Amino acid sequence: MTSFSDLGLGQKLLDALDAVGYKEPTPIQAGAIPPALEGKDVLGIAQTGTGKTASFTLPLIERLSKGRAKARMPRSLILSPTRELAAQIADNFDNYAKNTKLTKVLLIGGVAFGPQEEILNKGADVVIATPGRLLDQFERGKVLLNGVQILVIDEADRMLDMGFIPDIERILKTLPARRQTLFFSATMPPEVKSLVDRFMNEPERVEVSKPASTATTISQLVARVKDKTPASKRDMLRRAIDRDGVKNGIIFCNRKRDVDTVARSLKKHGFSAAPIHGDLDQSTRTQTLADFKSDTLRFLVASDVAARGLDIPAVSHVFNYDVPHNADDYVHRIGRTGRAGLKGESVTIVAPGDERNLAAVEKMLGKSIDDADFGAGSPKKPAAEKPTRKSKPTVSTAKSKDTPSADFEPKVEATPATSAAATEPSPNNAPPSAKPAPAKKTASKASDRSAKRHDQSRRNDGDHDRFKGFGKDVPAFFNIGEN
Ligand code: AMP
């Protein structure tokens, strides 16, 4: 078993890790930290939930701990596609760097420029930024990038989906050629590979992937409604959430407008519920998430954007108001519950017309999902299609055919020096048990979208502070089925 001290991290970091309760490194950490500490470029193929944030933040802190910040000249830059992810990275940084004197500044849109400039003027060792706001501050002369020794690019494939690659290229060209680059992406479409080929120097490749599977601790159910009217679906939703054992939950809708309607309706019926989607301004989104994390808010009604990247701990239930259009999204969604070995339950409302989407989900899972019986309005599935297996809402589901025996058993390909350690799954690593592969997109489609969106994104970039809401932080999948 590898320990953090085997990886070459100093005592201050080991103490900080002890304080946050990490017992041993996750595979991506075991694979990426040693070469990163040596100053090598690292290409990490890993998704959110694998512990990848610490795999770049820890070596970055260790390497920067000698040396001091200069005004407006950060020594490292971490680029993230969305504000929420950037904020999460900043939280991670604060936890891990608390025994050091290192300082950071978070450069994201949707908030005032002034406080960011103040910190930049005092000197921040680490800039954590979304591309749009970084470029804005750069163009205003508030941040100089020629002192950057370590660059981190997180979620490069999402950057591509969101049309940020031209921004990233611009930023890369302003950085010193002699620097260390730590680059993370869940997938490697050609545009992302091209960035790696052009801007990285013989990177060590560390890959941690997880097959599309759902955690064995998640009970999955479908709740069938006789008709697909919103009223009937909302009625079923209320039955599903108003049961013993439903502590809290995320309710996913395919369409943004349904997110609002469902949240409003639940509130009207006396439930503690609030919507989260891209049309809400940044402060509302931040507050809603904070309320949900602190248990002030019981139900978060969300579009798929909330299923990616956001690290929301301990959700007892996930409800799919609609069967997702994309089977992968199902895994992403229900992966919000049953995390870190905790028991969770997902309930998917299935209306007439949803059969194809449900069949795609069941095909991917390699099994059919049990019917729940929440009372009126739940017809049983026709026997010819599937024998009805009425189940109690709390029963545990069988494993999917390709579900690994452990909740989190990633495939790891690491460099020889690290592979032995990297194959050791960490029981305490607390990633969500269902660590889904992002929606598969063909490279050409992604590239078209990227090109098309770029112009748009420069115009609609919330991080340029000319616009409200997600601006260009809206991931591609967010628009799927919005209308
Ligand atoms: P990330 O993939 O970086 O978003 O991390 C996913 C979750 O795993 C976060 O809640 C982290 O705090 C947690 N985490 C990261 N590394 C470890 C570790 N070595 N042990 C336990 N939890 C971890």
| Span 382-402, pLDDT tens digits | 443 333 333 333 222 223 322
How far apart are the CA of 463 and the centre of ligand 1, in A?
27
Residue that is written with structure tokens 């997880």 in the block: 210
Q: Where are the domains of the chain?
A: 4-207, 218-371, 389-422
Domains 4-207 and 218-371 share a fold: yes
Average pLDDT of the segment spanning 391-419? 29
Q: How far, in Å, from the CA of 140 to the mean position of ligand 1?
A: 36
Predicted local confidence at residue 107, as pLDDT: 97
CATH of 218-371, one of 3.40.50.1970, 3.30.365.10, 3.40.50.300, 3.30.1160.10: 3.40.50.300
The stretch 258-277 carries a mean pLDDT of: 95
Ligand 1 atom 17: residue of nearest CA: 429
Phi (first) and psi of residue 104, to 5 degrees: -135, 160
Residue 354: count other Cβ atoms within 10 Å of its Cβ.
20
pLDDT per residue as tens digits for the range 120-169: 999 999 999 999 999 999 999 999 999 999 999 999 988 988 889 999 99
Buried b (16+ CB within 10 A) or exposed e, 245-280: ebebbbbbbbbbebbbbbbebbeeeebebbbbbbbb
- Rounded distance, CA 207 to CA 384, Å? 43
CA-nearest residue, atom 19 of ligand 1:
25
> What's the whole-model pTM score?
0.59
Distance 390 CA to ligand 1 centre (A): 37
Mean pLDDT value across the chain: 78
Domain 4-207 grouped into CATH 3.40.50.300: yes
Residues 188-243: tens digit of each pLDDT? 888 999 999 999 999 999 988 554 455 566 789 999 999 989 999 999 999 999 98
Which atom of ligand 1 is the closest one to the Cα of 24?
19
Contact 109/463 with Cβ under 8 angstroms?
yes
Determine which of 40-54, 272-286, 375-389 has the lowest per-residue pLDDT on average: 375-389
Ligand 1: distance of its center to the CA of 50 in Å?
6
